[in-house]
Amino acid sequence: MRSLGPINTQLPSILISGVLILCWQSITTFPSLLIFVVLYGFFSGCLVSLPPASVASLSPDLSFLGVRMGMMFSIASIGSLSGAPIAGAIIGRQNGKMNGAMIWCGAIMLVSAVFVGAARYARGREKGGGWKLKI
């Protein structure tokens, strides 16, 4: 069985998760909430498990892998630590409504997909295969 590679798996998962978060606003019934929860749970699992593998696949020299992992987790910590207070401030400004926080979260997710796609394209171009490589 041929694998896709961590970034080739992560990129569509980020895009689909971002779109699902933006669609969250239109959910009004319990069955549609269940469908959302199942789909988001399936696609967002890659957001937790694949970043370390993606850093390893982007690293041309594995002797620097530990440094790159530390840099990746340090940068990710900024979003992890600031995301909840930002969402809380947005919800507070809207008197408890979550629509603004949902838009903020979905937009940030889609922007992150652009950055992951740019890193994937740059690495593929560096290896001479463009979008066709398993990365």
In-domain check, residue 19? no
pLDDT at 1 over 60: no
Q: Which residues, in sequence order, are CB contacts of 21 under 8 Å at separation 6+? A: 40, 102, 105, 106, 109
pTM, 2 dp = 0.86
pLDDT in tens, 48-98: 999 999 999 888 888 999 999 999 999 999 999 999 999 999 999 999 999
Q: Is residue 121 part of a domain?
A: yes
Does residue 105 belong to any structural domain of this protein?
yes
Look at residue 112 and tell me if it is in a domain: yes
| Residues of the domain holding 117 | 72-128
Mean pLDDT of the 40-55 span: 92
- At residue 35, the pLDDT reads 96
Assess if residue 79 is contained within a domain: yes
How many domains, in total, are found in the chain? 1
